[in-house]
Amino acid sequence: MKKVRITVMRVARYDDLIVRYENPISHACDMREGQVFVANGWKKPEGFCDSAWESVSPFVMTLAHGGRDIYEGWMKNDKSAMISCNDGFRPVSFLLEAMDEDAD
């Protein structure tokens, strides 16, 4: 099984929607652009958001098991995927890339 690199590519925040619809919460997302995690198969990387993991884990598993060309030609690199978490107030976009066996 391959490891999968997960890179935080974009962190958005929709303050107008937060003010209008969200109840105040003390802790939300603490992902930062450029942050990198490495998933070893089904295991969620330490420090990775639980909610985001629910969104990306099926794609991580596909890539970890050698799957390619998700959605038939969607990505330029067929061993990758661009997936966002399901937080409608603070969506985070992640680039998932299957790593070569000899990569760190």
- Is the Cβ–Cβ distance between 4 and 64 less than 8 Å? yes
Q: How confident is the model at residue 100, as a pLDDT? A: 82
Q: How confident is the model at residue 58, as a pLDDT? A: 95
Q: State pTM to two decimals.
A: 0.89
42 pLDDT tier (thresholds 50, 70, 90): confident
Among 97, 75, 96, 93, which Cα is nearest to 84's? 93
- How far are the Cα atoms of 9, 29, 84, 89, 104 from residue 19, in angstroms, in the given order? 25, 16, 22, 10, 42
Q: What percent of the chain lies above the pLDDT cut of 70?
A: 96
- Is the Cβ–Cβ distance between 63 and 81 less than 8 Å? yes
Give tens-digit pLDDT for 12-41.
Answer: 999 999 999 999 887 778 899 999 999 998
d(CA 30, CA 66): 30
